[in-house]
Amino acid sequence: MNAICLNFKVHQPYYYKKYHFFDIGVTHDYYDHSRNEEMIRRVSRSCYIPTNNMLLKLIERYGDKLSFSMTISGTTMEMLENYAPEVLKSFQTLVSTGSVELMSTPYYHSMAMVKSSDEFKCQVTQHQKKTKELFGVSCRNFANTDLIYADYLGIILSEMGFRGVVTEGAKYVLGWRSPNYVYSNPIARNLKILFRNQQLSDDISLRFSNSYWAGYPLTAEKFSDWLCRDPNHKCVTIAMDYKVIGYYMERSSGIFGFFENLPQTIFRNTDFKFLSPNTIFSHSDAVAPVYIPNEISWMSAERDISPWLGNELQKDFFRKLYRLEEAVKRINEPKILEDWRRLQSVDNLFDMNFRWLNEHQFDVDNPQSPYEAYINNMNILNDLEMRLQQIRFSRMVIRNKLKNTVEV
């Protein structure tokens, strides 16, 4: 069986407002609400709505021949609920066709697994609950934040009852092996792994609109030829950010036309089927285990976690953030817990990446320097710590008061 396995990452980060040092201990609202609303609307307009509509039409046309998977972060579901319920509805319609498999992922788009498996499990469970609540489905397979994965994560996932995981086909872990087979975790052998085909995925997500690229313009015909180029292609995993369609690559690039034509062309020219990860995991046995001792991801040239934990600022913030874990959980105030968890988003870590600074190029959606980002994050973290102390203190006062009353 030759399969093409599409996976779309749907994620929208929370933007923080400029949180000054003199705000510490004074105000506890960290978010840029209007920007969050504006961004989710903007992305909805250019990507979510038109792409959902397009995919819905394709599903109606091709029925069960066409299925794929989506990984929607919990924070995105929240924001859709709050700011764009009609867009949430369109996702729900899409999922209700039964052709879209929702993947499990950490609710807060975090990399908590690196620091705390307990916190990681909390966020995965929270995400499953939210998915069940909004979409009425349970996730059987997992796609981590930006496809981060390592052996130890596989073991945790297996313990949690997942069947399989999608991760990056990083060449340095695959070596001579092709990404286009089903593999397994070397210790938890029952956990199956699909590796993202870097080449073909990036042909769409990075190079599609690049007119200097030799493959330009990429057509559905060309893509289906490349798919069959390697006779050993069994199941090709194409994973990308959903926002590539319509947001990063505008309508004028022809990206919508490409996807509209893709199923038809592939069905006509090849024997590939569009299958969801769950179907693939059900029907294919793993060909071999793959050892992945250190975290891999789909980010940057290194395909590791250095984009988020590469410099001292990032490491310092990360360390200090998780140092609060015990206190946050002991105090157990929902608002504080939520603020702390939202801070864990890898977007916050990525803002402190130096690469942007040294290349004189800024994230258009977030034009601040890594130093500014660090200062903002640390100010917020300090405020969070102060809130924890205040609650701890006031509880202590009440406790002592009650004790005294009892004694009297």
Partner 1 sequence: MTVLMFGWEFPPHITGGLGTACFGLTKSLFLRGMDIIFVVPKLFGDENTEVARVVGADNVAVKIDSIKQFSQSINSKYIEINSKLVPYQTDEEYFRLANSSTVSVEGNVDENKYFSFSAGYGKDLYSEVERYAIVASQIARDFEFDIIHCHDWLTYKSGIEAKKISRKPLVVHVHATEIDRSGYNNINSLVFEIEKKGMDEADKIVCVSQYTKDILVKYYHQDASKIAVVHNGIDKEPLATKHAKVKKTAKLVTFLGRITHQKGPEYFVDAAAKILAKDRDVHFVMVGSGDLYNKMVEKVAEQGLADRFHFTGFLNQADVNKILSATDVYVMPSVSEPFGISALEALENDVPIVISKQTGVGEVVNNALKANFWDTDSIADSIYALLNYKTLKNTMVKECRRDLEHLSWEAAASKLENLYNQLLS
Dihedrals φ, ψ of 9, to 5°?
-90, 120
Judged by CB under 8 A, the residue of 113, 150, 375, 384 near partner 1 is 375
Residue window 296-335: x/- pattern of binding to partner 1, with contact defined by CB under 8 A: ---------------xxx--x-------------------
Q: How far is the CB of 368 from partner 1 (least distance, A)?
A: 11
Token pair 């764009």 in the structure block, residue: 84
Whole-number Å distance between alpha carbons of 300 and 307: 7
**Applying CB under 8 A, does 4 fall inside the site for partner 1?**
no
Judged by CB under 8 A, the residue of 200, 374, 383, 384 near partner 1 is 374
**Applying CB under 8 A, does 362 fall inside the site for partner 1?**
no
Q: How far is the CB of 112 from partner 1 (least distance, A)?
A: 21
What six digits make up the tokens of 256? 């919508």
Q: How far is the CB of 25 from partner 1 (least distance, A)?
A: 9
**Applying CB under 8 A, does 22 fall inside the site for partner 1?**
yes
User: Looking at 99-234, which runs of residues are DSSP E strands?
Assistant: 100-102, 141-143, 164-168, 182-184, 192-196
Q: Are strands 192-196 and 182-184 parallel, antiparallel or unpaired?
A: antiparallel
**Applying CB under 8 A, does 58 fall inside the site for partner 1?**
no
Whole-number Å distance between alpha carbons of 370 and 178: 37
Q: Of the ranges 14-22, 48-56, 70-78, 276-284, which one interacts with partner 1 (CB under 8 A)?
A: 14-22
Q: How far is the CB of 293 from partner 1 (least distance, A)?
A: 28
**Applying CB under 8 A, does 176 fall inside the site for partner 1?**
no
- CA dihedral angle for residue 209, residue 211, residue 213, residue 215, rounded to 10 degrees: 70
CA geometry: angle 173, 179, 183, nearest 5 deg: 80
CB 161 within 8 A of CB 121: no
Please, which residue, 259 or 356, has the CB nearer to partner 1? 356
Token pair 């990429």 in the structure block, residue: 218
Whole-number Å distance between alpha carbons of 222 and 70: 25
Q: How far is the CB of 389 from partner 1 (least distance, A)?
A: 16
Judged by CB under 8 A, the residue of 1, 187, 288, 357 near partner 1 is 357
Please, which residue, 80 or 375, has the CB nearer to partner 1? 375
Single-letter amino acid, residue 5: C
Q: Of the ranges 174-182, 323-331, 334-342, 367-375, which one interacts with partner 1 (CB under 8 A)?
A: 367-375
Whole-number Å distance between alpha carbons of 355 and 375: 17
Q: Which residues bind partner 1 (CB under 8 A)?
A: 18, 20-22, 24, 311-313, 316, 354, 357-358, 360, 369, 371-372, 374-375, 378-379
